Amino acid sequence: MKQTKLDHLCRIVIPVSIRKNLGMKEGTPLKIEQNGDCITIKIAESTCRLCGAHDAVHEELMICSTCIQKIKKL
């Protein structure tokens, strides 16, 4: 378990090892949920396996619509 703390604006920094493992970068949308005394942070949207986009990702294929269109043209 990684440990961090809130800054003066109550923000947290997600440790770099976790960001790298999850492919997180600036602008990655997140969901924050409270369950009792626990807080869960999840990536809000799926990420395209090919380009890393978060928009319009097909849930089963895990590929965005832009990449799907490029593949169809091959």
In the list 14, 24, 43, 53, the residue contacting Zn ion (rule: CB under 5 A) is 53
SS3 at position 10: coil
In the list 41, 51, 62, 71, the residue contacting Zn ion (rule: CB under 5 A) is 51
The yes or no reply on residue 47 touching Zn ion (CB under 5 A) is no
The yes or no reply on residue 56 touching Zn ion (CB under 5 A) is no
Which is closer to Zn ion, CB of 15 or CB of 23?
23
Which is closer to Zn ion, CB of 14 or CB of 50?
50
| 55 Cβ neighbours under 8 A, 6+ residues apart | 45, 64, 65
The 8-class DSSP code of residue 11 comes to -
* Bridge partners of residue 74, in order along the sequence: none
SS3 at position 39: strand
The yes or no reply on residue 50 touching Zn ion (CB under 5 A) is yes
